[in-house]
Structure 1
Amino acid sequence: MKPQHWPLYGLRIRTPRLELRLPDLELLDDLASVAADGVHAPDTMPFTVPWTDCPPAERGRAVFQHVLSTVANWSDRDWALSLAVVHEGRVVGRQDLMARDFAVTGEVSTGSWLGLAHQGRGIGTEMRAAVLHLAFAGLGAGVAVSSAMTDNPRSLGVSRRLGYLPDGLTVAALRGDRVRLQRLRLERARWEEHRAVEVTVEGLDGCRAMFGA
């Protein structure tokens, strides 16, 4: 497609194994199918919003609608870049980069999920490294924050490998129960010290202003 009126569709972030891009309708349908096939074991819930509790068809539809909503609701003061992660020509998951009042705060946050069939291969670390490069090197961010449940060692391990430091605990309600989350923080200087993944970005100049950068 020719992204004349929405240049974010021309943004490409590449690592040695992955390409991240805003999905067009065909790629978004593939992404929704990955979600429908499952992103975690049925006896766990790693997300504070339990969007995966619904049946597979509804789960896929919810992902499809959510990604479209991030485009429809975008503003340079409140944005969520929801990227499809492509590995060896196949969609394997989603990586989000988000910010509010980025021009003032210089702070971004991240969120992600991977299809069950693609977990345990280091893809999660590589795709987070990709959007951190976009944030710090591309947009000039000063801080990246994240959080994960204290009993989610995989997510916490990704953050640790990329240089995040603990930033306190918080609590949330999940399915009527109280859960604890570990907040995490990555300052720009520490990101530079822990960079280990080669990342290239294409198409940013055409959409940089959309981030409030």
Structure 2
Amino acid sequence: MFKLFLIEDDSTLFHEIKERLTSWSYDVYGVNDFSQVFQEFTAIKPDLVIIDIQLPKFDGFHWCRMIRTHSNVPILFLSSRDHPSDMVMSMQLGADDFIQKPFHFDVLIAKIQAILRRVYNYNTEQIELKTWCGAAVDYQKNTISNEMGTIELTKNEMFILRQLIEQKNKIVSRDALIKSLWDDERFVSDNTLTVNVNRLRKKLEELQLGRFIETKVGQGYIAVEEEQPL
């Protein structure tokens, strides 16, 4: 079980995040004394630190500096502040990622899993969440979520989206998609592939993501993911 140190002074938000993370089998610790954050970090020895910027006594940047002088533990910032300089400062201090409040919990989970997978190289076959264009894609539940809401996909739609996301920014031919669907015993024709892609794109429009699935005439489809600015 991974130990997470959640440095958040909003009691309501802390307990909400802790409850959700605990349901994912993470061991979550909070701060008892905001003037002793580093000492508590040292005692807990967490596998990942989640830290807000605006805190009592000293801000999150201060504690990030302190932690980085002694540890390379991954650090994820949460903040309601949206100024680009805050994001840049976080990365310059050695943070691994930055999420702006309010956020969708599935996005937080996906980012935590991605960081832990990268740092600790744990079994990626257990990971069923993927981030794409700022949204959380849950392969197991066949859902995709962002700040606009959550949509459910059919198994075929999710299968197609997964093939495209796993090869994002690359053209996936129609033949390759049809072959993958057949190999997975999902029997589709060229016409039903078109129908499924159109339905997928229409559903993604509800999350303002439809434009990120592009049709390349005579070639296939591509899931575009733009670089996210700091």
Q: TM-score range with shorter-chain normalisation?
A: under 0.3
| TM-score (normalised: structure 2) | 0.26
**Which has a greater percent of helix?**
2
**Which has a greater percent of strand?**
1
Greater Cα radius of gyration, structure 1 or 2:
2
Q: Which has the higher contact order (CA 8 A, sep 6+)?
A: 1
